[in-house]
Amino acid sequence: MPAKKSSANTSAPDPHVAPPGTRCFVYLRHSPGDDQSIDSQEAAVLKEISQRGAKKSSANTSAPDPHVAPPGTRCLVYLRHSPGDDQSIDSQEAAVLKEVSQRGWKIIRIYKDEGISGKSTKKREAFERMIWQARQTPRIADILIIWDFGRFGRNMNDSMFYSAEMRLNGWRILSMNDEVPAGPMGMLFEALIHWKNEQYLIDLRQNTLRGLHYMAERGFLPGGRPPKGYIVSQEPLGTRRRDGSERLGMRCCVDAG
């Protein structure tokens, strides 16, 4: 007897992909001695049902794509430059102005934090003024433009908190140099970018400490001024910089004078 050709089609559909609005029966059971009460089971089931009922609308509540804003769109710009960065505030601003001009947008205000680390929002006065302005109603603009999310901040909690707050208040955020797709997946990409930006600071701190320990173990001054009664002499470290020049270390010597 030939096998039933239609058997594959009679399998039960996957209940995990049922659409919002699907009607449900719920069966709960509690055995004597169970730690899991009927009430706690019911609470967990009701929470799951509530979450699944909202899934269809989650894609529609994601931030609209800032790349498709029409000409005339009003913008705020936030720029930040860290100590030692190759990318200056002026070069960031020039690139943003060019982009805005090409799109036909209008800049309402530019905020700048120069020579300030992004590891915290503290002492970033321009950032704090920008966030305060973004909380006001009615909004004076529709889009915040940043060079990249690393300029927005390198603390993952801060960056995700303030970007989420701005979007809940109706703002769009355009990063000039981060590839973030439109739609719900964009939030996942952005979270990974925030993680990477914070990890950069963690790695930089560890590498800096390792370098300082290396210098101290070999008798060189890790940094700062020499102790009183000592002077500094420079000696080759035996390594070279990226540009090919020789690295020099500072060694403390007794001041004979």
* Domain boundaries, given as residue ranges, for the chain: 12-60, 66-195, 219-254
- Rounded to the nearest 10°, the torsion over CA 96, 97, 103, 105 is 110
From first to last of its 257 residues, what are the pLDDT tens digits of the chain? 444 444 444 455 677 777 787 888 888 887 876 766 777 888 788 888 887 774 333 333 355 677 778 999 999 999 998 876 666 889 899 999 999 999 999 999 999 998 888 888 888 999 999 999 999 999 999 999 999 998 898 888 888 899 999 999 999 999 998 888 877 788 888 888 889 888 877 777 787 777 777 777 777 777 777 778 777 777 787 777 777 787 777 887 777 76
Tokens of 14: 């996957």
Query: Rounded to two decimals, what is the model's pTM?
Result: 0.60
Chain-centroid distance of CA 61 in Å reads 20
Tokens of 23: 């009607």
| Residue 129 region by backbone torsions, left for phi larger than 0, else alpha for psi between -120 and 50, else beta | alpha
3-class secondary-structure state, position 51: helix
Q: Are 250 and 233 in contact (CB under 8 A)?
A: yes
State residue 86's pLDDT score.
64
Q: Are 218 and 208 in contact (CB under 8 A)?
A: no
Give the class (CATH, top level) of 66-195.
alpha beta
Place of tokens 């300029």: 151
Concatenate the DSSP letters of all residues of 119-182 into one string: S-STT-HHHHHHHHHHTSSS-S-SEEEES-HHHH-S-HHHHHHHHHHHHHTT-EEEESS----S
Phi, psi of 217 (to 5 degrees): -65, -25
Q: Please name the residues in contact with 9: beta carbons below 8 A apart, sequence gap of 6 or more.
A: none
State residue 250's pLDDT score.
80
Q: How far apart (Å, rounded) are the C-alpha atoms in residues 68 and 142?
A: 12
Q: How far apart (Å, rounded) are the C-alpha atoms in residues 189 and 182?
A: 10
Q: Are 151 and 78 in contact (CB under 8 A)?
A: yes
